[in-house]
Chains A and B, each alone.
Chain A
Amino acid sequence: MTGDATPPLRQSAGVFAAISRIRQNATHFTTSFFATPEQTQGWLDEGVLSCAESSGCLLVFRRDRDFQHLCHVADSLESLSEALATLALPAGGGAAYTADLVGRLEQTAPVAGVYQEHGFRTLTTLFRMFRLAGSAVMDYQPDPEVVFAEPADVPMIAAFFDRLLNRFVDQIPDRAQFLTSAEQRAILLIRRGAEPGGVLLFENVGLTTLLRYWYVDERFWHDGIGGRLIRTFLHLSGGSKRILLWVIADNADAIAKYRHYGFAKENLVDQIMFKRWRNE
């Protein structure tokens, strides 16, 4: 089974109808597909999303650079296992799959076990941290060097992310997503010459703000850029009830920084499973 195994869907309604079919009579429903209909339609319009439906399971594939994000919607772990057993080299592009399993660890562990039975391994585990409204903003002073990225900055920022981030783990935005974020004034930037010294990208959802990325070029790690970015961000996020972020579970330095700025750990993990095909 691959992303091209069934006729291509054109409308997100078709995807969600398939999900409804799976949900019917599901006794041990499991899913890793959390996209909204709007997101789904956007991916369909771009031609990067495809699905394969089997008895009791829908696999959703989303092409990203040289690999595919794999999500499942299944009525039981048995149905999921049967579907994963038919996976083959991604025909839609790339030679690897990643699958994000989100939930409490006791919920993701049995699902991860099914993926492992079919050749996946745990690439890394993230956990979610949150910061409550009303937490003190430390030492905020208006900082003229912290600016909102402009749409014209997008190519530079995209190149910065491509260089620093792990494409299998970090769900790097595409150019269109960067552009939308810039237009929404959701990318903070400190420039160093013609390049970003540091970038912070966030997303507002109702009363919640998601801190998606906070990166400083390694050449400027000790210049205070990161602190200036996040203090400005926390000041700007004063109207949010909570700020959320995901952090790699064993990244002690990052976790210590987040704790310093008032974030606390949640009992929610993202276990990232990975499978690469080798042409042997």
Chain B
Amino acid sequence: MKTIVEILKEIRPEFDFDTSRDLIGDGMLDSFDMITLVADLEKTYGILIPGVDIVPENFRNLGAIQQLVERCAAKP
């Protein structure tokens, strides 16, 4: 199974996502990339990311995305 970093790299291969603490503020991800990322995360991890969670705060950095995935995976 692909990791979150691998998914991000497929969307935006030019960036080093490990080093950024603010992917959105640094211009590495924009709203349109978030759409693609949500679809890829749902497909890869078999989760449903509720609309209420599709906010910039949940995509700010790798840790935030990881927490989002774990939260959605824990839901019945």
Contact = CB atoms under 8 A, between A and B. Distances in A.
Contacts of B50: 23, 25-27, 29
Nearest to A246: B32
A277 interface: no
Contact of B27 (A25, A34, A241, A268): A241
Nearest to A244: B30
Given A207-B26, A208-B27, A26 B35 contact: no
A24 B51 CA distance: 7
Interface residues of A, number: 26
A29 B36 contact: no
Contacts of B52: 20, 23-26
Interface string A230-241: 000000000001
Contact of B36 (A104, A132, A241): A104
A38 to B, nearest CB: 13
Contacts of A24: 51-52
A27 B28 CA distance: 28
A102 interface: yes
B25 interface: yes
A75 interface: yes
Nearest to B48: A27
Given A133-B14, A242-B12, A242-B14, A102 B30 contact: no
Contacts, number: 64
A244 B51 CA distance: 27
Interface in B35-71: 35-36, 39, 48, 50-52, 54-55
A198 to B, nearest CB: 26
Given A132-B14, A206-B25, A206-B26, A22 B51 contact: yes
Nearest to A267: B36
Given A23-B52, A29-B51, A128-B32, A104 B25 contact: no
Contacts of A268: 32, 36
A62 to B, nearest CB: 16
B29 to A, nearest CB: 9
A254 B52 CA distance: 39
B30 A205 contact: yes
A27 B54 CA distance: 12
Contacts of B36: 103-104, 267-268
B11 to A, nearest CB: 9
Contact of A103 (B24, B28, B32, B48): B32
A267 to B, nearest CB: 8
28 contacts: A23-B52, A23-B54, A24-B52, A25-B50, A25-B52, A27-B48, A29-B54, A102-B35, A103-B32, A103-B35, A103-B36, A104-B36, A133-B14, A205-B27, A205-B30, A206-B24, A206-B26, A206-B27, A206-B28, A207-B15, A207-B27, A207-B28, A208-B28, A208-B30, A241-B27, A242-B12, A268-B32, A268-B36
